[in-house]
């Protein structure tokens, strides 16, 4: 059961009850308490990478060893494919000093290449920071 601090972190993402959140690059190092608090808040299990229906948001767990910036661009494009209009992508990266840390600039560069921009960051969990990416409006 998530603690009140973990539930508060889940609320920072702006998720609401009934939303479907698709998760990418799940691995054994993800923050399970945060995942559980998101599921408790939305009332839905996180959808896996194979989910092909419309989603309200996407959450990507990204580490430096996962691949290079071009691969993140591809993943951002894949994650946006199922998003309902106005849906956000949250890129979770290990915090500075943690194994697998990714520079903010690397995520921002990948987002720009994918036609997105970073609009916020959240101290998501003990070892993870999250960057909110939104799709750029045409002509921007």
- The pLDDT value recorded for residue 68 is 74
CATH 3.40.50.150 applies to domain 4-135: yes
Query: Residue 82: left if φ>0, alpha if ψ -120 to 50, beta else—which one?
Result: alpha
Give the mean pLDDT per block of 10 residues along the chain (140 residues).
Answer: 61 91 96 94 95 95 86 93 89 94 93 92 92 74
- The pLDDT value recorded for residue 74 is 93
The encoded tokens of residue 112 equal: 């720009």
pTM listed for this prediction: 0.89
Planar angle of CA 23, 25, 26, nearest 5 degrees: 70
Between the CA of residue 85 and those of 30, 37, 58, 134, 135, what are the distances in Å?
A: 27, 24, 12, 10, 9
Q: H or E stretch including 92?
A: strand 83-94
Where are the chain's structural domains? 4-135
Cβ atoms of 57 and 19 closer than 8 Å: yes
- The pLDDT value recorded for residue 84 is 87
Question: Count of alpha carbons within 13 Å of 14, Cβ hemisphere only?
Answer: 15
């Amino acid at each position: 059961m998530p603690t009140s601090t973990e539930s508060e972190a889940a609320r920072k993402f702006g998720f609401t009850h009934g939303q479907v959140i698709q998760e990418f690059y799940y691995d054994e190092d993800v923050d399970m308490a945060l995942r559980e608090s998101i599921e408790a808040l939305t009332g839905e299990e996180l959808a896996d990478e194979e989910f092909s229906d419309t989603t309200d948001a996407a959450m990507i767990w990204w580490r430096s060893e996962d691949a290079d910036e071009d691969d993140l661009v591809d993943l951002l494009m894949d994650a946006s494919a199922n998003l309902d209009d106005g849906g956000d992508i949250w890129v979770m990266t290990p915090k500075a000093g943690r194994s697998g840390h990714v520079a903010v600039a690397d995520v921002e560069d990948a987002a720009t290449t994918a036609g997105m921009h970073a609009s916020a960051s959240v101290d998501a969990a003990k070892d993870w920071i999250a960057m909110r990416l939104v799709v750029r409006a045409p002509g921007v």
